[in-house]
Amino acid sequence: MIRKEDIQKFTQLFSCDRIMILMHCRPDGDTLGTGFALKRLLELNGKRVTAVCNDEVPKKLDFFTEGKKNLDPDFEPETIVTVDTATPELLGKKYEAYANRVWLAVDHHATNSLYAENTILYPDKSSAGELLSDLIYESGIIYDSVVASCLYGAISFDTGCFRFSNVKPETHLAAARLLSFDFDAAEMNRRMFDLAPLGQLKVENELLQNAELFCGGKAVIVTLTLDMVEKSGAAESDFEGLAAIARRIEGTYVSATLRENSDNSVRVSLRSECNIDVSVIASEFGGGGHVRASGCTINKPVDEVKELIMNSVERAFEKSEYQL
Ligand SMILES: [Mn+2]
């Protein structure tokens, strides 16, 4: 259920104009799907809308943007909205400066720093897509199959195709409503979860070759170096879903996926399949996220980062009576 005051805030957006929708950097399916669903919905209501993002749209997600790679503003906005973006930093260098002008944030991250003038925040929702879908439904606003397909894609992305523990009965109810519109959900899921360039599949294979178990086999760490990316011939953006690979290893409860960036920092993605809260580990290094999925960026060489993360995960296991 959506709170009354949030419905009010949301419907107030329809009396605004020249709206800029900001999505988080390194865009994923949730921020893109939610952003473009909202763009379409506002346009159906006669608004001028521009949807922007600091980084390029990954090829496998460009069906959300009708093939558009670079999302730059079309005009100077009057009203600014963010979707799926917990902190100003996540807007990226180009758009960080807009953070103090955000009128509305629509988000599902418990770590949202409340930087916006108004925040519609539901940490129980699987995705920003599910939240926006509920907002639209409970506001009684008419929408079309484009809005529905974008929202469905957003929910599917953040739930790993409805397989993660963030899926609730309400998630399926929202998806069911969206599926009553005419769009090809199966093809969308195939693009997001099955298809990959050969170069990427080869790198994923290599990633498993360097997998290292620790904490007595209960945790695993894998590393993607710049060298591996270069040799693969695949695009940078092809490697967004890597965190899903290590967590498949049987017997492990926590996984860490390290990715070397070109500025010598290392992006760390953490996943937990037990009661260990990986957002605590990520926040030790200035990051954040969810209990079972979080991340941080560390400005140190990859070997040092590996040791830091392994120590931190080990401490987390020592502290908690972990259970599935
Ligand atoms: Mn999300």
pLDDT, one tens digit per residue, over 281-292 is 999 999 999 899
Determine the Cα–Cα distance for residues 131 and 125; give it in Å rounded to an integer. Answer: 6
pLDDT in tens, 251-264: 999 999 999 999 98
Element holding 296 (H helix, E strand): strand 293-298
Give yes or no for residue 149 having a pLDDT over 90. Answer: yes
Ligand 1 centroid to 231 CA: how many Å? Answer: 31
Judge contact between 130 and 174, C-beta under 8 A. Answer: yes
pTM beyond cutoff 0.85: no
Judge contact between 197 and 60, C-beta under 8 A. Answer: no
End-to-end CA distance of the chain: 29
Over residues 12-38, mean pLDDT: 97
My answer on whether 250 and 298 are in the same domain is yes
Ligand 1 centroid to 318 CA: how many Å? Answer: 30
pLDDT in tens, 305-321: 999 999 999 999 998 77
Report the CATH number at residue 129: 3.90.1640.10
Count CB neighbours of 18 within 10 A: 15
Determine the Cα–Cα distance for residues 43 and 54; give it in Å rounded to an integer. Answer: 22
The answer as to whether 324 is a domain residue is no
Using DSSP's 3-state secondary structure scheme, residue 259 falls into strand
Count CB neighbours of 211 within 10 A: 16
My answer on whether 57 and 172 are in the same domain is yes
Ligand 1 centroid to 269 CA: how many Å? Answer: 15
Per-chain residues with Cβ under 5 A from ion ligand 1: 30, 84, 127-128, 158
Q: pLDDT exceeding 70 applies to what percent of the chain?
A: 98
Ligand 1 centroid to 154 CA: how many Å? Answer: 8
Residue 193 has what DSSP assignment? H
Judge contact between 8 and 135, C-beta under 8 A. Answer: no
pLDDT in tens, 178-233: 999 999 999 999 999 999 888 888 888 899 999 999 999 999 999 999 999 888 88
My answer on whether 183 and 41 are in the same domain is yes
Domain housing 91 = 4-193
My answer on whether 151 and 221 are in the same domain is no
My answer on whether 278 and 135 are in the same domain is no
My answer on whether 28 and 164 are in the same domain is yes
Q: Which segments within 108-253 are labelled E, that is strand?
A: 118-121, 212-214, 219-224
My answer on whether 225 and 129 are in the same domain is no
In the chain, the number of structural domains is: 2
